[in-house]
Amino acid sequence: MAKVARVPLIAGNWKLNLDHLQAIAFVQKLDWTLKDARHEYGLAGSEVAVFPPFTDLRSVQNLVAADKLSIVFGGQDLSEHDSGAYTGEISGAFLKALDCTYVIIGHSERRTLHQESDEQLGRKVAAALKSGLVPVLCVGETAEDLETHGPSAVPVAQLRAALAGISGSPDLVVAYEPVWAIGSGQAATPEQAEQVAATLRATLAELLGDEVADATRILYGGSVKSTNIAGFMRQPNVDGALVGGASLDVTEFASIARFQKHVGT
């Protein structure tokens, strides 16, 4: 099956790492590294996004704007609320005012450590879209889920619940991150990622129509490295990667972003 022309997205989730000064140095070095390698942004190469901690976003925004960088950025989370007495939360409007393009919603660490429910994540997806942000909705199963329910069942259920109140033609990204692979060094196989991605796309078609399903980029996340990214990107329904630990190494992350150079090797 030929791959549909969707701009690949390589996204680096820094999690709770790098302060604002380190973020500036990282983004500068990432830009230089990609320029030196003649990286092409867009369909011929990839879109490159970073997701720094909230305290870094203003610094990254200033750097990207001042130097006219092609790298884009987003928040690691957002509030379901627009404003009000919600101490410690960050609204989608605030992220949009910082020129964020994306926001991660429902990362497995948020689901586990903060007990975020599918229903709450649905409200966050709606809040992101309302603010003009592109939600990167994370779905995925634990090893126990996989053994009990089989592949796709839990990610599909999470996708259905999070999009239950969404209609129209939303611009969104779905990231399949098998929890059993994150940080383990043992990624899913490209075939496993494709099987889930294809099922997620079929579910998107059912919920929002073929046009949205065809346009939505589906990422794989979980122990992604420069040595395995090409295998994932050869799959018809895998359109990029949500990179964790490897996104903190400039050389490695730049190599992942340049996956086109590895395809066929």
Residue-wise pLDDT for 11-40, tens only, equals 999 999 999 999 999 999 999 999 999 999
User: How confident is the model at residue 263, as a pLDDT?
Assistant: 57
Taking the C-alpha atoms of residue 217 and residue 238, their distance in angstroms, rounded to an integer, is: 7
Please say if 47 is a catalytic residue. no
Rounded to the nearest integer, the mean pLDDT of the chain is: 94
**pLDDT at residue 82 tops 70:** yes
Secondary structure in 3-state letters for 84-134: CCCCCCCCHHHHHHCCCCEEEECCHHHHHHCCCCHHHHHHHHHHHHHCCCE
Please say if 206 is a catalytic residue. no
Name the residue among 91, 95, 121 with its Cα closest to residue 106: 121
Taking the C-alpha atoms of residue 41 and residue 80, their distance in angstroms, rounded to an integer, is: 32
User: How confident is the model at residue 1, as a pLDDT?
Assistant: 64
Determine the Cα angle at 148 with ends 146 and 151, to 5°: 35
Query: 10 Å Cβ neighbour count for 29?
Result: 13
Q: What percent of the chain has pLDDT over 70?
A: 97
User: How confident is the model at residue 265, as a pLDDT?
Assistant: 42
Name the residue among 35, 2, 34 with its Cα closest to residue 252: 34
**pLDDT at residue 183 tops 90:** no
Burial of residue 153 (number of CB atoms within 10 Å: 0-12, 13-18, 19+) = middle
Which of 47, 116, 177, 194 is labelled catalytic?
A: 177
Confidence category of residue 184, pLDDT binned at 50, 70, 90 = low
User: How confident is the model at residue 164, as a pLDDT?
Assistant: 95
The residue type at 108: S
Which of 39, 47, 107, 141 is labelled catalytic?
A: 107
For the stretch 43-79, pLDDT in tens is: 999 999 999 999 999 999 999 999 999 999 999 999 9
For the stretch 188-240, pLDDT in tens is: 899 999 999 999 999 999 999 999 999 999 999 999 999 999 999 999 999 99
Burial of residue 249 (number of CB atoms within 10 Å: 0-12, 13-18, 19+) = middle
Token representation of residue 27: 């983004």
**pLDDT at residue 10 tops 70:** yes
